[in-house]
Chain A
Amino acid sequence: MQGTLDLLILTAIGDAEFHGLGISRRIEQITRGAFHVAPGSLFPALHRMQEAGWLSSQWGESENNRRAKFYRLTKPGKRQLETETGEWKKVVLAMANALKAT
């Protein structure tokens, strides 16, 4: 679903700082394995969100001493997370009501 991946990435990063694989693993973790994001989708999304100004990135060292690029949320990114969360909740509520009604 359009926007779902963005929301997942924003939520997964939260207030922390992750490299690509970290984000991928974090998403698996917080969705309890329901979503697995392949790099072919992850990197285009990360780069797009960075272009949009929601993410910032910098190079650093990973836990295994590998050079990796780390992403964190910018101020607009945090605002975007709030708006998208709010909208998602509305959608969930509406869908739940709709399903209950039938």
Chain B
Amino acid sequence: MKLRLRSALRNLLHKHEIEKDLDAEVRAFVNMVADEKIAAGLPQPEAQRRALAECGGIEPVKQSTRDGRPGIAFENVWQDLRLGIRHLRRNPIFAVATILMLGIGIGANTAIFTFVNSVLLRPLPYPDSNRLTTVLTELGNSSRAPASMFELYQMRQRSRQFDQIAGIWVTNRALPGKGDAEQGKAGVVTSNFLQLFCTHPMLGRFFGPEDDLENAPSTIILSHELWVRKFSADPRIIGTSVPFGRGSPMVIGVLPQNFRLIFADDASVPPNVDYFQSLPVGPWEPNGPGFLHLVGRLRSGGSLAAAQAELTTIARQINEIGARIKVANYHLVAFSLQDDDVREVRRTLYLLFGAVAFVLLIGCANVANLLLVRARQRLHETTIRAALGASTARLMQQILTETLVTVLLGGALALLLGWAALKAIVAVEPSSFANLGQVSLDLRVLAFTFAIALLTSGIVALAPISTVRHLKLAQDLKSSGRSTTRRQSKASTLLVATEVALAFVLLIGTGLLLRTFANILRVNPGFRAENVFTLRVSVPDRDTLRQVQRVLTALPGVQSVSTVSHLPLDDVGNWYDYYWKDGTPADQQNTVMADMRSVLPGYFDTIGAQLIQGRDFTESDDAAHRHVAVIDEILARQLWPGELALGKRINVSDSPKGPYQFERDWPVVVGIVRHVQCHTLTATVRPQIYLPYPLAPRPSMSMVIRAGAALPGLASSVRKQIAGLNRNVPITHLEPLSSVVERARAESRFVSLLATLLSIVALQLALGGIYGVLSYSVVLRTAEIGIRMAVGAQRTQIMRLVFAEGLLPVALGIAVGAILSAASMPLLDHLLFEIKPGSLQVYLLSIVSILLLSGIAMLVPALRAIRIDPLTALACE
């Protein structure tokens, strides 16, 4: 072994001497054979010729001797690498084209894989995150509903499969203290909640059982960010009382800097909660509202299936207690927290992953085509090398190494491009992705890029390798590599057809997504956002709210001002519950769930919501007068199908005696409004019920201001007016309502933008492929075209000839692409809005545009063909 290594080293280091030695030795052999023949009476040249023939040539003997040398593999690779780089430098356009195509293709894969890796593959950054589940209730018209305290209590009493079940509800709260008054998010949590997401606090302690006791003092835990911002990162804050929320709770802990809650979008739990407050768990009343998002931790060694089976049993037992949820279709369901978080984006990500894989495949097909053309041009050289004793395996190895050089250069470019793309995507920040985790390049991404690059070189090297495998020495030497065989042009046709097919699929997908985005732009969200300005305020009482309304109405240019507890399209801190009509039997009461909004008169007019029947609230709609409610058309239809809802009574839980002091009440429906989109622009999640603010006061409200025209200085005058009124009224989120709408469109815009970019790249690659193959074909057929023209072919006939050749792969590609699209587009369904995956219009448009564009790509080679001068063409031959 040592010996072999040493001689391998010697062979590498003294290569020149060894080669000279070998050459002399073999030549001596041949000469001596010739000497024998001369001695036998042959003339010298003939003797030399026969001797050579007998020995099988000098180079082949040398090559087979070299092949037995230790270290030959290194040497060959080294040789091939140098040859590869020399080829690239000799043909820079080819080099730039291939490296760029592969760089873009692999780079797009790297960027999307980084998301897949960060979002889908990396575990959530929590202790025992694989044991965390969310627990949701399903009943009546709502799935994925939050649970009531009663349900949480029952689950805790009965469950053996979970070692912890915790709950959270996030609400808006004023954040007094240093700096401007502001409004923040408070997480009301059970005392065991934070431990599930974080091993230990940065300062102080977590909530414990002592905070659950009936008369326990009110305590809170601050986020790191709030601690720095409001308390200047002062560690002495622990143990002191701060004026947050009701009473003055004591700060008992500060969370670590990177603490984030990663929940599904519809859980109404934002990633950054400003502070947490503990909520004692007790049996409570069975009829209490459902507001808690539950997180369970499976017992060590437990399984999700066992937990789900247990929850099914518990749901039946809760149903049998009969107290609250006495409905037939009541279920408790558990999902893995990570799966639940990513359930919306997983398919989007996989689809994008598929799209970039398509782009890479098209790039591969293009590069393969280029390599094929080059291999044909170099056929003469290759044939000579084969004649000189290079084995087929050796030639293949050379092609692979050369391809690898190109692809690895492309891969290096891909990392750069992928990194840049990543930055760009994160900058656009589609919220549904950004919530899910830190997106970053890591070793796995590097390994992935490298693996993809290797795979790519394997794929693209297949085409040129096939030319080597079918070398016919004598024939190829004679033709000097200028002829092209039928088989090779068939390979090119198939490659182009593949490109067109893949590009077509991307085009269809993009068309559907763009139509979706257009539909979303056109959708009627139930309100008119133009010239409506919003801000959030935290107000201690109704009089302050009225004052705020009055001063804002007095501003010049303002038409009307009203207020609402939850703006349209703002889901965080939502409020929803069950509502039922008069005479509903107990087991049917919890079947219809609706979003509840607390408003002042004039709200519907101000945001431009349409009142269908009845009336808006008036100043006299308060606790002292008849209790009234306004509902939307959907709730009216669900509760009173085919009947007039106006004047009917509806059961609600409201809180006329103050926030969080709920009472069941029976207001009368006085108005019916058009549904307002609350969650997204496209999905109708729940119907709405509106109560007058005096019946359902909330500490945090959003003001809505309608102006006659855009008022540029409105924000500052609003600030000035409210500050003049009361310094302790925090206002935040001053923005036009149209910005809220913009944010709701962000994801669709992002996905359709990305798809558009990808299909532009794909189309360009495919068109480049058509152009390249056709141009090359015209060059090869110069003589043929010359002859045709010489015998009288018209220019149009020549054009037709070229177009016919170009159209074949395009037509084939469109046909295959259409079949692929028909099979794959239903996967896009969840991203689409008001357009069918099989939309004939999109298909037709895609076919027409591909035909038109490829026609343009074919035009240049076709024009070149008719400009061929028969005389020069024939002279060339």
Whether a CB of chain A sits under 8 angstroms from the CB of B35 is yes
User: A21-B32, A47-B65, A67-B24 given as contacts; is B3 within 8 A of A40 (CB)?
Assistant: no
B61 near A43: Cβ-Cβ < 8 Å: yes
Q: CB within 8 A of B61: which of A40, A51, A68?
A: A40
Interface size class of A (residues with CB under 8 A): 20 to 34
Q: CB within 8 A of A43: which of B4, B24, B26?
A: B26
Whole-angstrom CA separation of A17 from B3 in the bound complex:
24
A51 near B70: Cβ-Cβ < 8 Å: yes
Distance between B9 CB and nearest chain A CB, rounded to angstroms: 12
Chain B residues with CB under 8 A of A86: none
Given contacts A39-B55, A40-B64, 12 further A-B contacts (CB under 8 A): A19-B28, A20-B29, A21-B32, A39-B30, A40-B55, A40-B60, A43-B26, A43-B29, A43-B61, A44-B64, A66-B35, A69-B28
A51 near B25: Cβ-Cβ < 8 Å: no
Chain B residues with CB under 8 A of A39: 26, 29-30, 55-56, 61
Whole-angstrom CA separation of A48 from B32 in the bound complex:
23
Chain A residues with CB under 8 A of B28: 19-21, 62, 66-69
When each residue 1-30 of chain B gets 1 if its CB lies under 8 Å from chain A and 0 otherwise, what string results? 001100100000000000001101110111
Whether a CB of chain A sits under 8 angstroms from the CB of B31 is yes
B32 near A40: Cβ-Cβ < 8 Å: no
Whole-angstrom CA separation of A32 from B489 in the bound complex:
55
B7 near A51: Cβ-Cβ < 8 Å: yes
Whether a CB of chain A sits under 8 angstroms from the CB of B242 is no
Chain A residues with CB under 8 A of B32: 19, 21, 62, 64, 66, 68
Whether a CB of chain A sits under 8 angstroms from the CB of B33 is yes
Whether a CB of chain A sits under 8 angstroms from the CB of B285 is no
* Residues in B lying within 8 Å of A, measured CB to CB: 3-4, 7, 21-22, 24-26, 28-33, 35, 55-56, 60-62, 64-65, 67-70
Chain A residues with CB under 8 A of B65: 43-44, 47
Chain A residues with CB under 8 A of B25: 20, 43, 68-69
User: A39-B26, A51-B70 given as contacts; is B61 within 8 A of A64 (CB)?
Assistant: no
Whether a CB of chain B sits under 8 angstroms from the CB of A53 is yes
Distance between A2 CB and nearest chain B CB, rounded to angstroms: 14
Q: Give 12 pairs: A residue, B residue, CB < 8 Å, sorted on A.
A: A21-B28, A39-B56, A43-B22, A43-B29, A43-B61, A52-B3, A64-B32, A66-B28, A67-B24, A68-B29, A69-B21, A69-B25
Chain A residues with CB under 8 A of B4: 51
Whether a CB of chain B sits under 8 angstroms from the CB of A38 is yes
Chain B residues with CB under 8 A of A69: 21, 24-25, 28
When each residue 1-33 of chain A gets 1 if its CB lies under 8 Å from chain B and 0 otherwise, what string results? 000000000000000000111000000000000
Whole-angstrom CA separation of A69 from B29 in the bound complex:
9
Chain A residues with CB under 8 A of B3: 51-53
Whole-angstrom CA separation of A53 from B213 in the bound complex:
89
A21 near B29: Cβ-Cβ < 8 Å: yes
Name B56's closest neighbour in chain A (CB-CB). Answer: A40
A47 near B68: Cβ-Cβ < 8 Å: yes
Name A50's closest neighbour in chain B (CB-CB). Answer: B7
The 9 closest A-B pairs by CB, nearest first: A44-B68, A43-B65, A21-B32, A68-B28, A20-B29, A39-B55, A39-B61, A69-B25, A44-B65
Distance between B92 CB and nearest chain A CB, rounded to angstroms: 40
A47 near B69: Cβ-Cβ < 8 Å: yes
Chain A residues with CB under 8 A of B64: 40-41, 43-44
Chain A residues with CB under 8 A of B31: 66
Distance between A30 CB and nearest chain B CB, rounded to angstroms: 18
B67 near A44: Cβ-Cβ < 8 Å: yes
Distance between B49 CB and nearest chain A CB, rounded to angstroms: 16
Chain A residues with CB under 8 A of B30: 39
Chain B residues with CB under 8 A of A68: 25, 28-29, 32
- Most chain B CB neighbours (cut-off 10 Å) among A19, A40, A48: A40
Name A62's closest neighbour in chain B (CB-CB). Answer: B32
Distance between B53 CB and nearest chain A CB, rounded to angstroms: 11
Name A21's closest neighbour in chain B (CB-CB). Answer: B32
When each residue 37-81 of chain A gets 1 if its CB lies under 8 Å from chain B and 0 otherwise, what string results? 011110110011001110000000010101111000000000000
Chain A residues with CB under 8 A of B29: 19-21, 39, 43, 68
Whole-angstrom CA separation of A43 from B26 in the bound complex:
8
B56 near A48: Cβ-Cβ < 8 Å: no
When each residue 64-102 of chain A gets 1 if its CB lies under 8 Å from chain B and 0 otherwise, what string results? 101111000000000000000000000000000000000
